[in-house]
Amino acid sequence: MGETVVVDSRGRVTLPREVRSALGVRPGDRLRVSTRGDRIVLEKVEDPFETLERLLGGLKFDREARKRAEEAAIEEAARRWGVAREGPGGD
């Protein structure tokens, strides 16, 4: 796929429909922007909770479950890498 896009006066570009369709990019999705040499790279950023919901079927994560999962992840990072605990409910 090799489409040409135009940067507007505010620095925005429109991703071609074929690119959005091929990668499943929808309105509201988040993309990570980086550079590699003289190239601009866009990578789709997955919501970890949406990924879990998709993998676990009908199981949904409410606000409290998300908070507990985030706290558990922070605790595990601190345990594994000696990282100071920060984030939801942090000290």
Grade residue 2 by pLDDT with cuts at 50, 70 and 90: confident
23/37 same-domain check? yes
Residues 64 and 34 in one domain: no
Q: Do 26 and 65 share a domain, yes or no?
A: no
- Record the pTM: 0.49
Do 21 and 39 belong to one domain? Answer: yes
- Full residue range of the structural domain in which residue 40 is found: 1-45
* Signed CA dihedral, 64, 44, 59, 75: sign only: negative
Question: Domain check: are 1 and 39 in the same one?
Answer: yes
Q: What is the pLDDT of residues 11-61, one digit of tens each?
A: 999 999 999 999 889 998 889 999 999 999 999 888 777 777 777 776 666
The count of structural domains within the chain is 2
Distance, in Å, from the CA atom of 72 to the CA atom of 91, rounded to the nearest integer, reads 14
Q: Same domain for 36 and 62?
A: no
Of 89, 82, 39, 31, the C-alpha closest to 64 is 89
Higher pLDDT, 71 or 66: 71
The reply to whether 12 falls in a domain is yes
Within a domain: 15: yes
Listed in sequence order, the residues at least 6 apart from 5 whose beta carbon sits closer than 8 Å to its beta carbon are 13, 14, 15, 16
